[in-house]
Structure 1
Amino acid sequence: MTTPAMPQEILLAEPRGFCAGVDRAIEIVEKALAKFGRPIYVRHEIVHNTYVVNDLKERGAIFIEELDDVPPGATLVFSAHGVSQAIQKEAARRGFQIFDATCPLVTKVHVEVAKLHKEGYEFIMIGHKGHPEVEGTMGQLESGIHLVEDVADVAKVQPSQTDKLAVVTQTTLSVDDAADITAAVVARFPLIKKPKMQDICYATQNRQDAVKVMSPQVDIVIVVGSPTSSNSNRLREVAKKLGTESYMVDHADELKPEWFEGRSRVGLTAGASAPEVLVKAVIDRIKALGAVSVRKMDGIEETVKFPLPKGLKLDA
């Protein structure tokens, strides 16, 4: 009986891993810890990655969901996903020192919602119910935002008027799914106002595009990312839709040798909140199973950098 062949080559997606919004959010917590000392309170996981959150916990960050858990006079950081107006106002009322780590691309959606709301618009939001980014965006208004999760939901939306209707999108969705849902929205509401540029962020788009190029070239795709990470889940789905078996792992220990039996080429990518140290550990584990070479794909080089909030320069 012959032993099934194990992987020979790893093909690394490019780009993969941290995006500018995640880099900025983590740096805000790190700089706050360095400047003000521990503890620093963070509302919700700063980004959806177990390794990152545990690392910051060890350094003095305390992650909370309710403002009641933050003591008076504390320093509070809002996560990269954004928060509702109600939470912003309540945190300010309580007098916390606040640093907002909301990704600027999410803030752009919030600003657009506020601007169009003043002009009398209602909104259809494409996104996943319960995701903190969706809760933050919908929480920019007291009412007038209707959430749709799929094409079927579009038929159920009942806005109070259709003359002034706009569509906004969670930034970490599948580009293809969002396009399908948007098409259904436009078919039902032909005059709906769409963003000048799509809301799905550049990093989400780039990572999905890289997986689309990589998937046909490999026998299996491994995505490094935590179960709570929307954009990581979408990468696995993109590969699966293209017919390539795909798995998502939080860390290298979750890899199972049987996944790789008879598969000579492994595609590897990472969600926008997954650090490169986890990718390297996965590479080492696949090498231990027999892979002898690692090849990096050609891909877009991301040069986006977002500035930190005022008051976090260590010499300030």
Structure 2
Amino acid sequence: MPVNETLARYSDWSYVSAVVVYVLAMVFYLVEQAMTKTRRQAARELTAVGGGSAEAVDAPAESVVVTRSPRADRFGRMGFSLNVLGVLLHAAAVILRGVATDRVPWGNMYEYGSAVCLFAVIGWLVLAKRFDIRRLSVWVLLPIVVLLFLGGTALYTPAAPVQPALQSYWLAIHVTAVSISSGLLLLPGVASLLYLFRAAYERNGRFAGFAARLPKAEVLDRLAYRVTVVGFPLFTFAIICGAIWAESAWGRFWGWDPKETCAFIAWVIYAVYLHARATAGWRGNRAAVINILGFASMVFNLFFINLVTSGLHSYAGVA
């Protein structure tokens, strides 16, 4: 079926617009951060002053008061609104690409990266709304904007039908599952990285200017764990579907292709993380480092394996 060039062009415009809106949302989030004041004082019960909000954050020898004025909160809410608008434009870009090509819109590296980032932002908006952790939004959007910029420049591919090897219903099942799970697993990777800064601050006061504005370390640790618990089974399902598709396409379930191997390594890392949390009671720095390694392996699989190595998955750059 020929590509609808008009819809494909609208998709590209929506993609660029989404990236611009995400950057604007980051600016508003940063303004909120800049207007959120921190000051040290002896530990005591705190109350809101002048209509603003104040919270006491535990520190090694004293209390750090994080005060967010109504004006700062207004900028944060404006950033969140822009974040929602960016998601709508981003979703429009993905949907229009699919309609223009009459297939699922993740048949190459550009489309796949866009889908992963979309699911990551949607997941984050749900978390930020439910758990009141909007202050982390700028740090979540940062890697997403970087990935989208790379996708829209270095990895951009014009709308076109997929290659014959990908013309299977398994493309919709396998790559959809891996896109959603990869997007979700991006979030605990960021949360675990921020946890290390916050934990260092709570232990010895390091990174006070940055880490004092973050949620408590236990909140970040719990957030990373809960999202991984959701993303890991979906990632497992995606790997199983990939193996079934491989048997149908290549006559074997598993052949240690570079992408299969890297996906398996990532799966093992996340399995170790969840097992250690459940049985050995690992929390804190050790759990965070394992989770960051899992996130790093996913990024490595996305870029290095797809773009540098050669294998059965190299023809289209899909996950």
TM-score range relative to shorter protein: under 0.3
Give me the TM-score of the superposition, normalised by structure 1.
0.26
Calculate the TM-score normalised by the size of structure 2.
Answer: 0.26
* Structure with higher helix content: 2
Q: Which has the higher contact order (CA 8 A, sep 6+)?
A: 1
Structure (1 or 2) with the greater strand fraction: 1
